[in-house]
Amino acid sequence: MIQEMSKENIKSEQQFPNMPSEPCWKESIQAIKDSLRFNSFNSFRKHLVDTLPQNSYKTRERNFSYITKRFFPNQSLDQLTVKVWKYYKNEGLLKNIMRFQFLYKERLVSKFVEEELSVFEPGSPLSKNVFERFVNRVYKTTKPKAVARISHTLCKLGFIARKGKEYSVLSKPLPKLSLVILVHDIFAPTPQTVSIKEILSNSFWKYLGIRTNSQVRQILKEAAANGLIAKYITADQLEQITTKYGSDEFLQRKLKL
């Protein structure tokens, strides 16, 4: 379950989010897959620092720290992404969960996804001006390096594509199972009732590439119809789901939607 940031840290990050470091996206995918071979974080750390593709030891150490920050917080191998790969062996599903984990840690990029990217339809052109205006609004000044890092990161994560100097928003299948897995992990690690309002007010689903509240509702209703959650209730002003399994049991059963 995601650990909550302190109110002070949240406020600071919202006002002046740090620029993201190198995404190390391919290396992170491989690291999560490789982690299943290890029983301790220390042995996993040694393996990763020794085998990352960069020539410089210092660069490998630095990139290891980026991977750890995003996907192995608290230096533990007990992570949602690791479990998803262990039980599903589905790289598309793994990448969806990784996008959430990455954006949860990299606040500048997630802020762009929430406030800018989510309003663009798949296939839409995305001009550099959109990035520049966003950065100017966040930092109250021009920061070409921030513009470059946001666009570079979103390309690596598969949200946008670049051709020459132009960008476009990529189309993705609706990440139904990813959404349901994260609802369990974030809101219901044990079976319980969760309001739809609480789910919609959290931006995690935008990190998956979902754009509208109606899509979230559609997926959860489908999950209830297929027995992945116990029920979806809409009555008067009450709208909520009740989960059927704990987060770990959901994964261990390899449930699909």
Written as one string, the DSSP assignment of 97-113 is HHHHHHHHH-HHHHHHH
Query: pLDDT, tens digit, for every residue of 117-141?
Result: 999 999 999 999 999 999 999 999 9
Tally Cβ neighbours within 10 Å of residue 88.
Answer: 18
Task: Indicate the pLDDT class of residue 15, thresholds 50, 70 and 90.
Answer: low
Rounded to the nearest 5°, which phi and psi values hold at 106?
-100, 90
Q: Which two tokens stand for residue 29?
A: 């995918």
- Token readout for 200 is 């919609």
State the average pLDDT over residues 212-233. Answer: 97
161 in the Ramachandran plot: left (φ > 0), alpha (ψ -120 to 50) or beta?
Answer: beta
Q: Is the pLDDT of residue 10 over 50?
A: no
- Residue with tokens 């959109």, as numbered in its chain: 130
In this structure, what token pair is assigned to residue 117?
A: 């990217």
Percentage of the chain exceeding pLDDT 70: 94
Amino acid at the residue 147: V
- CA torsion, ordered 216, 71, 228, 110, to nearest 10 deg: 0
Per-residue CA distances from 253 to 122, 151, 202, 230, 250 (Å): 33, 37, 26, 15, 5
CA distance 22 to 4: 24
Cβ neighbors of 120 (< 8 A, separation 6 or more) are: 126, 169
Band of residue 81 on the pLDDT scale cut at 50, 70, 90: very high
Question: What residues pair up with 161 in beta bridges, in sequence order?
Answer: 168
Q: Is the model's pLDDT at 5 over the cut of 60?
A: no
Sorting pLDDT into bands at 50, 70 and 90, what band is 16? low
* CB crowding 165-191: b at 16 or more within 10 Å, else e: eebebeebebbbbbbbbbbbbbbbeeb
Half-sphere exposure of 209 (CA within 13 A, CB side): 24
Q: For 192-219, what is the mean pLDDT?
A: 96
Q: Are 243 and 162 in contact (CB under 8 A)?
A: no
201 close to 108: Cβ distance less than 8 angstroms: no
